[in-house]
Amino acid sequence: MSRRRTLGTKKKVALLVSAAAVAGGGAFVMASTSNAAQGPQTAAESTVCQGLATALGNNQKFIAGQQAAPDAQSAARIANREAVIEQIKVQQKASGCVVGESAQGSQTTQPAEAAQPAQPAQSAQPPAQSASSAPAAQPPAAGGGGAAAGQQVCKGSTVTLSGEAGAPAASSNQFPAGTRLKVTNLDNNKSTTVEVTSVSGSCALLNNAAFEQVREPGKFLIRRAVIEKVG
């Protein structure tokens, strides 16, 4: 009688261990399924992904403008921006974002600028350069290029990065090369003053070095920015 009770206890323990193993396996399967269901984040779900999508979109917009009205330098500019886009896609993958997602930067128009009909057509102006000229020959676009030194411009615009290397610089669709812009990130009060060296699809698109001077860690988009023309 004693032996039967002992065997019965051992069987109960074995059954409990088996049940625990099955339950644990089920929990593991559920956790694995849950993790597998979590795909890459979109721009709407992550500020990091939104910044990268905006950078990619601005570069695509620039390429489209060059293709629509090419000049002697367009092929080189397009090749450069295509390389930048590939680098942005690498950053999207590393950040857990949807690779290749594209979005245009915010270009909120202020009441003082609303009466200027040329404002919506700014993206078409950067490619309109002579075959022998660099972006410096590009006429200033309406609503920004004619601003006085020290004046705040492009109110409401967000700021992101172009993905280009080199010394701190910016590109713009409103200011010719040589213009100096001061960009301040209101979220951390960091500022950088850079020179516009090329054209892009937004008011102020910072290259990697310039963006690093004002960015918040892990972010690729500055939502609250002040852009000033200083020279």
Higher pLDDT residue, 86 or 119? 86
The torsion angles phi and psi of 57, rounded to 5 degrees, stand at -65, -40
d(CA 108, CA 114): 10
Confidence of residue 109 (pLDDT cuts 50, 70, 90): very low
Q: How many CB atoms lie within 10 A of CB 129?
A: 21
CB 104 within 8 A of CB 60: no
The bridge status of strand 190-199 relative to strand 170-172 is parallel
Q: What is residue 15's predicted lDDT score, i.e. its pLDDT? A: 52
Burial class (CB in 10 A: 0-12, 13-18, 19+), 76: exposed
pLDDT at 88 over 60: yes
Q: What would the mean pLDDT of 62-75 be, rounded to a whole number?
A: 88
d(CA 71, CA 33): 53
Q: What would the mean pLDDT of 80-101 be, rounded to a whole number?
A: 89
Higher pLDDT residue, 33 or 147? 147
Q: What would the mean pLDDT of 95-104 be, rounded to a whole number?
A: 90
Q: What is the pLDDT of residues 164-180, one digit of tens each?
A: 899 999 999 899 999 99
CB 177 within 8 A of CB 136: yes
CB 135 within 8 A of CB 82: no
d(CA 179, CA 175): 6
| Residue-level length of the chain | 231
pLDDT at 134 over 50: no
Reported pTM: 0.57
Question: What percent of the chain is modeled with pLDDT above 90?
Answer: 32
Domains of the chain: 47-229 (2.40.40.10)
Q: How far is CA 205 from CA 30, 82, 181, in A?
A: 44, 16, 11
Return the exposure string of 18-43: e unless at least 16 CB atoms fall within 10 Å of the residue's CB, then b.
eeeeeeeeeeeeeeeeeeeeeeebeb
